[in-house]
Amino acid sequence: MMDFFSKYKFFGVVLLMLSMVIIYLFYNALQPEKTLPVYQPSMVSQELVDSTLHYKKKYHTISDFKLINQNGNVITQKDYEDKIYVADFFFTTCPTICPIMTKNMAQIQNSILDDTDVLLLSHSVTPAIDSVAQLKKYANEKGVIDSKWNLVTGDKKQIYQLARKSYLAVKTDGDGGPYDMIHTENFILVDKEKRIRGFYDGTNTKEIEKLLKDLEILKASYIQ
């Protein structure tokens, strides 16, 4: 009897390993595919959404824009065509959450340096103060790489409309003084169709980790 088991031990081990591989493959095949939601204004807190969009439930996309970056170049949707990108709102003289957000955005930049499908876009909420020269100075201080990350300024009304009506990212309409926009700490993940696929706390390292994982899920969806 012992000779029998000894003789077929190798085949038993191989059969066991093969069985484990088959079970693993079946398990993975039965798992639901990981996907990200497509955010609509009706899915977001109303304080972050323009009142005209509170009940919009489909077809929401980021509107076209024309802004100026840290190098004085005109930046439009064309520069982000067929790209995934992460957007936020900040101002260079912000002493509170912006330095943390910028540091975390720089971390994302380092993670996507060799990824031609992903870019970054930061909008100044104080465009009257954040001139091209001021943005360039800030970009140099924070390690911004021009080919990956645009810091943009421009028409205040356009930026505020983008924030409220496109990115769903600020708490006021911003029609008062130079510091009237109450911007959030949100980073917004935008897909190649200009749709919002995620919101993340830009001051929270755990949220940044989640953003990077979601970015991989989104990228994978374009391969299938």
pLDDT tens sequence across 113-144: 999 999 999 999 999 999 999 999 999 999 99
60 annotated to a ligand binding site: no
pLDDT of residue 24: 42
DSSP assignments along 83-136, one per residue: -EEEEEEE-TT--SHHHHHHHHHHHHHHHTTT-TTEEEEEEES-TTT--HHHHH
* CA pair distance 208, 201, nearest whole angstrom: 7
Q: Sheet holding 149-152: strands in order across? A: 149-152, 118-124, 84-90, 186-190, 196-201
Residue 52, pLDDT above cutoff 80? yes
Beta bridge partners of 47: none
Residue 106, pLDDT above cutoff 80? yes
* CA pair distance 120, 34, nearest whole angstrom: 24
Summarised one tens digit per residue, pLDDT across range 22-47 is 554 444 444 446 899 999 999 998 88
Are the C-beta atoms of 120 and 150 separated by less than 8 Å?
yes
Residue 93, pLDDT above cutoff 80? yes
Q: Which two tokens stand for residue 82?
A: 């067929």
Q: How many CA atoms lie within 13 A of 146 on its CB side?
A: 11
CATH tag, 41-221: 3.40.30.10
Task: Report the mean per-residue pLDDT for the chain.
Answer: 86
Closest CA to 92 of 141, 54, 50: 141
Q: Which residue has the higher pLDDT, 157 or 151?
A: 151
Domain limits, the chain: 1-31, 41-221
Are the C-beta atoms of 143 and 172 separated by less than 8 Å?
no
Average pLDDT over residues 13-20: 53
24 Cβ contact partners less than 8 Å away, ≥ 6 residues apart: none
- Using the structure block, give the residue that is written with the tokens 């993340």: 200
Q: What is the pTM of this model?
A: 0.83
54 annotated to a ligand binding site: no
